[in-house]
């Protein structure tokens, strides 16, 4: 057992309790709306894929540097979208999960929520098409991916609009 396991269990409990209680009152919009899912795709690629993976694309090294490691969101695992929204908005303390509510509005956060709940069903081709069709990386403040276009399939590293 790694030496930090007990501490991990402690933080896990504290985090889960706070998230569950506080997210309960949220009212999700229609998360099956294809437009909303598409709207989330660009931001996911720009701000999340580096840590949480993307269908059929080579994983980055970043997840291996983090403890706890970010879950691969291309695998099913998310259940309550209100919990997902809350975590995306507020982040998870004591982990590398950022609080995106600082730079995204509720609409953008719900679109990301819709997108990550759909993600396990999306294959590589559809993923690339959705990212391309997405209004994209709407907030423009990615900490990870500013820079010229390039990378895998020319999709990774989508340049940000001036902001
Ligand atoms: C720098 C790395 C990093 C980035 C970038 C990042 N996350 Fe995370 N995220 C994490 C880590 C680490 C965890 C898991 C913490 C834990 O195990 O408690 C996490 C957890 C989550 C969870 C909870 C998963 C679960 O099964 O409970 C969701 C949902 C999530 N992230 C969504 C996102 C979204 C959406 C974005 C982009 C807007 C994003 N994350 C960007 C590191 C990151």
Tens of pLDDT, residue by residue over 33-76, are 999 999 999 999 999 999 999 998 888 999 999 999 999 999 99
Q: Assess contact for 100 and 109: CB atoms under 8 A.
A: yes
- The reply to whether ligand 1 has any atom less than 6 angstroms from the CB of 48 is yes
Poorest-pLDDT segment among 23-32, 51-60, 84-93, 128-137:
128-137
Residue 129 has which token pair? 């098409």
Maximum average pLDDT range among 5-14, 16-25, 109-118, 144-153: 109-118
State if residue 49 touches ligand 1 by the CB under 6 angstroms criterion: no
Given this model, what pLDDT does residue 156 score? Answer: 43
Quote the ligand 1 centre to 57 CA distance (angstroms).
18
In tens, the pLDDT along 111-148 reads 999 999 999 999 999 999 999 999 756 544 333 343 33
Q: Is the beta carbon of 19 within 6 A of some atom in ligand 1?
A: no
Cβ–ligand 1 contact at 46 (below 6 Å): no
Rounded-to-integer distance, Cα 94 and Cα 30, Å: 31
Question: Could you identify the atom of ligand 1 that is nearest to the CA of residue 100?
Answer: 38
Pocket test for ligand 1, best of 18, 45, 51, 79 (most atoms within 8 A of CB): 51
Question: Residue 101: how many CB atoms within 10 A of its CB?
Answer: 16
Q: Which atom of ligand 1 is nearest to the CA of 11?
A: 18
> Nearest Cα to 142, choosing from 129, 153, 127, 158?
158
- Cα torsion angle, 99, 113, 104, 144, sign: positive
- Residue 70 sits at φ, ψ, to 5 deg, of -70, 140
Residue 8, pLDDT score: 78
């Amino acid at each position: 057992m790694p030496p930090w396991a007990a501490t991990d269990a402690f933080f896990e409990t504290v985090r889960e309790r706070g998230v569950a209680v506080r997210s309960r009152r949220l009212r999700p919009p229609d998360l099956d709306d294809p437009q909303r899912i598409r709207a989330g795709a660009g931001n996911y690629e720009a701000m999340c894929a580096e840590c949480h993976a993307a269908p059929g694309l080579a994983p980055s090294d970043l997840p291996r540097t983090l403890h706890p490691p970010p879950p691969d969101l291309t695998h099913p695992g998310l259940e309550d979208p209100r919990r997902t929204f809350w975590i995306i908005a507020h982040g998870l303390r004591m982990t590398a999960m950022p609080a995106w509510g600082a730079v995204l509005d509720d609409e953008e956060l719900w679109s990301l929520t819709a997108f990550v709940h759909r993600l396990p069903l999306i294959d590589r081709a559809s993923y690339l098409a959705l990212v391309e069709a997405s209004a994209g990386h709407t907030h423009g403040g990615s900490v990870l991916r500013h820079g010229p276009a390039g990378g895998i399939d020319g999709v990774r590293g989508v340049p940000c609009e001036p902001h």
